[in-house]
Structure 1
Amino acid sequence: MTNTQAVQSLFRPFTLGKLSLSNRTVMAPMTRQKSPNGVPGSDVAAYYRRRAENGVGLIITEGTVINDADSSNQKDVPFFYGEEALNGWANVVSEVHDAGGKIAPQIWHMGARGNVNEYTEEEIAHIVQEFANSAASAKRLGFDGIELHGAHGYLIDQFFWAKTNQRTDRYGGSLIARTTFAAEVVKACREAVGPDFPIILRISQWKGIDYSAKLVETAEELKQFLEPLVNAGVDIFHCSTRRFWEPEFEGSDLNFAGWVKQLTGKPTITVGSVGLEGDVTTFFSAGSGSGNASLDGLIPKLENQEFDLVAIGRALLADPAWVSKIRDGRVEELIPFSPQSVQTLY
């Protein structure tokens, strides 16, 4: 495992406008289904507080759904609308801030219909407005930014992907046209929160139903895809991959986050089995856990400024103190990811 001196770059401060983080670590959003009737309780606040107390630079919450009939198809996923749910989130913010942390909700629509061709333009306008309403609520509650979930085959990503977007109007067709919905969501959220409130957009090539899927095949296509999103007002791109160490395109060692930063000049978050021995999806299919992996492959990329922030998912789910243990060199105390550790330490 990496020694304390070697990981110093992970613990440099990060500042973007009014967002100031004590270090480069990010808690990746992870669905938990622990909010009965969509309302996050005191246990949810305690869950996030534990990570803040242990030095996570920025917490991105589990996905929270907007006020739309199709937004959720899973039980006990938290809402980001309605007085009771928003009061619960206000308590989460208070606990995290009291512990010295920073936090952003991930705002989500699952796209329950399976594709986007059935939506009328009026329905799309309603969904865009509900994203904006949730963004405004996040700012009002005192969150430090928002993340829009535009990855993994959910609604925004269904508009991005040619296989799920066969529309013939302005929302479909070319790669650039397929970014129209996302750009409208980002613009509406920007109008709702003002110019200085951070907007993060999570994107991915892979989908939950197809790990080999590609939105783009080349760096030039990626540039075309990203430009409308930058123009709409994205501040940070959260670039989801299954394995952070894999190059995105042939002929370059840059991973997905590295390419997005190079093409846009915007800060990026890398993610994908950080701190785990291998690919996290393998652990679920095999029903097993993972040992703690060295960060040696990650740190040089961060030091070379290929990306700006590092999201940790399952390793931080299993061990709330993962960040502080890495910072202090207490690697022998790390709790490995396993179904048992997750149930114990949620």
Structure 2
Amino acid sequence: MSSSSRIEALLESVTIRGTKFPNRVIMSPMTRGASPNGVPSAEVAAYYARRAAGGVGAIFTESVFIEDKGTMGKFDLEGGDDKKTGWPVMFGEAPLEGWRRVVDEVHAAGGLIFPQLMHLGIQRSPAKGQSWSDIHISSPSGIWGTPEQIAALPEEKAAVMNCPGKAMTEDEIWAVIKAFGDAAANAKSVGFDGIALHGGHGYLIDNFMREETNQRTDDWGGDHVGRMRFAVEVVKAVRKAVGDDTLISFRFSQWTHHDVDAMLTKNSDELKGILDLLAEAGVDIFEASARDFRDPVYEGSDLNISGWTKKLIDKPVVMVGGTGVRRERHESALTPPQVVDNVDEIMERYAAGEFDFLAIGRALLNDPNWLQRASAGEPFLDFNPACLKMGYVE
């Protein structure tokens, strides 16, 4: 890539905890669901290797399930009628061998790769052939959100979520924490370069962090420190599992999938409290996820969530959200976006010190060579709606 590129500053290498990133562009996690029975296919390996060959500094994989009854089941793994789809997992001999192949091919293409480990939490819903009564839903308080959030759901889901569920027991909580640690150890054993934890968007870790979904009065709830305990213990378990030489990244968001206007933190003091606890537990990198990177987060300031994160914590920050594409704020993730050239505004924010790494998602799904085009100043490819189809790994 040309040293005179307009994204020259993002092409500089950086080393964190002994891991050298060749540049500051990260492929953002995007669910592909091309792993029947939880096993990443050869096509998945080739898909990630193509993005590595395209030059991104690191790949953060699609969400990968830990082993727990509340985050996956037989139907989730078997996928669709074509038997070519299914959600990947980070446990079991066959899935781990599948991931080893993915890691080896990405490394051969010159890339770094982190798995995004996650638990669905309250976001779990029935797969094909299931009803709500067939599945186990894990959550801190057995509630999906506020009455207003529930009222905005599709009628069938609202009817179920409006009924009080079962809060996780102490034993269930510790079992999930252990499962995160076990998954991280498995990931390290097959050669991953670091661990990414999904703590945003309304999944389980996020459920514990939010007052709307965490109404517990024990040590796992209460004020922001209590609500952060689960996330902190997950990070500690992962750090213990992978040791001091492995990077841990943590994604968080103000918004959730069911409420894009939600606010995890109401002000910068609350945000700093969360960041400090996570950093102390062992987080090296913060992925600050916004619906759109232009969105200011607190009244009276133009800073977005990554800018505030960078201001409040002395850790590398990833800017996430609409960086390579544009869609309306309330549109579904399955709505085809428009590929846009945001490079000049992105570089202005980088020069202002608002982030350290840039996350690119759908634009890279659409074009493995997006970074090369950005570097050369070439026009970006029009978005191909077919790449949003579940199982797409071209």
CA distance in 2, matches of 1:306, 1:281: 25
CA distance in 2, matches of 1:248, 1:186: 25
Identify the residue that residue 49 of structure 2 maps to in structure 1. 49
CA change 1:188–1:341 in 2 (3 A) is: closer
* Residue 249 (structure 2) pairs with residue 200 (structure 1): yes
Bigger shift: 8-17 or 108-117? 108-117
CA distance in 2, matches of 1:310, 1:300: 12
Scaled by the length of structure 1, what TM-score is found? 0.94
Q: Deviations over 1:36-63 (max 9, x none)?
A: 0111010000000000001011100000
Verify the 8 A CA contact 1:67 1:80 in the aligned structure 2: yes
User: How many pairs align?
Assistant: 341
Q: Deviations over 1:187-214 (max 9, x none)?
A: 0111111112100000001011111111
Identify the residue that residue 26 of structure 1 maps to in structure 2. 26
CA distance in 2, matches of 1:309, 1:143: 19
Identify the residue that residue 337 of structure 1 maps to in structure 2. 383
- Match of 1:282, as an amino acid? E
List runs of 5+ in structure 1 lacking aligned partners: none
Q: 1:151 aligns with which of 200, 225, 232?
A: 200
SS in 1 for 2:292: coil
Superposition map of 1:261-272 within 5 A: 261-272=310-321
CA distance in 1, matches of 2:329, 2:45: 26
- Per the TM alignment, residue 253 of structure 1 is displaced from its structure 2 partner at its CA by 2.6
CA distance in 1, matches of 2:367, 2:11: 18
- Per the TM alignment, residue 141 of structure 1 is displaced from its structure 2 partner at its CA by 1.2
Verify the 8 A CA contact 1:289 1:336 in the aligned structure 2: no
Verify the 8 A CA contact 1:216 1:222 in the aligned structure 2: yes
CA distance in 2, matches of 1:177, 1:340: 43
- Match of 1:214, as an amino acid? M
CA change 1:248–1:4 in 2 (3 A) is: farther
Identify the residue that residue 307 of structure 1 maps to in structure 2. 355
Identify the residue that residue 236 of structure 1 maps to in structure 2. 285
Verify the 8 A CA contact 2:339 2:363 in the aligned structure 1: no
CA change 1:341–1:123 in 2 (3 A) is: closer
Verify the 8 A CA contact 1:238 1:270 in the aligned structure 2: yes
Identify the residue that residue 328 of structure 1 maps to in structure 2. 376
* Residue 217 (structure 2) pairs with residue 168 (structure 1): yes
- Per the TM alignment, residue 282 of structure 1 is displaced from its structure 2 partner at its CA by 3.2
Q: Deviations over 1:251-293 (max 9, x none)?
A: 33321111112211111100111121344763757x4441322
CA change 1:341–1:182 in 2 (3 A) is: closer
CA change 1:101–1:223 in 2 (3 A) is: same
Identify the residue that residue 157 of structure 2 maps to in structure 1. none
- Match of 1:61, as an amino acid? T
Identify the residue that residue 138 of structure 1 maps to in structure 2. 187
CA change 1:292–1:324 in 2 (3 A) is: same
- Match of 2:360, as an amino acid? I
Q: Deviations over 1:295-328 (max 9, x none)?
A: 1111111122221000001111111111112122
Verify the 8 A CA contact 1:283 1:289 in the aligned structure 2: no
Identify the residue that residue 92 of structure 2 maps to in structure 1. 82
CA distance in 1, matches of 2:328, 2:344: 16
Verify the 8 A CA contact 1:239 1:256 in the aligned structure 2: yes
Identify the residue that residue 219 of structure 1 maps to in structure 2. 268
CA distance in 1, matches of 2:265, 2:381: 37
- Per the TM alignment, residue 342 of structure 1 is displaced from its structure 2 partner at its CA by 4.8
SS in 2 for 1:170: coil
Identical counterparts, % of pairs: 44
CA distance in 2, matches of 1:72, 1:139: 22
Scaled by the length of structure 2, what TM-score is found? 0.83
Q: 1:292 aligns with which of 324, 334, 340?
A: 340
Verify the 8 A CA contact 1:290 1:338 in the aligned structure 2: no
Identify the residue that residue 128 of structure 2 maps to in structure 1. none
- Per the TM alignment, residue 248 of structure 1 is displaced from its structure 2 partner at its CA by 1.7
Q: Which has the larger radius of gyration?
A: 2
SS in 1 for 2:220: coil
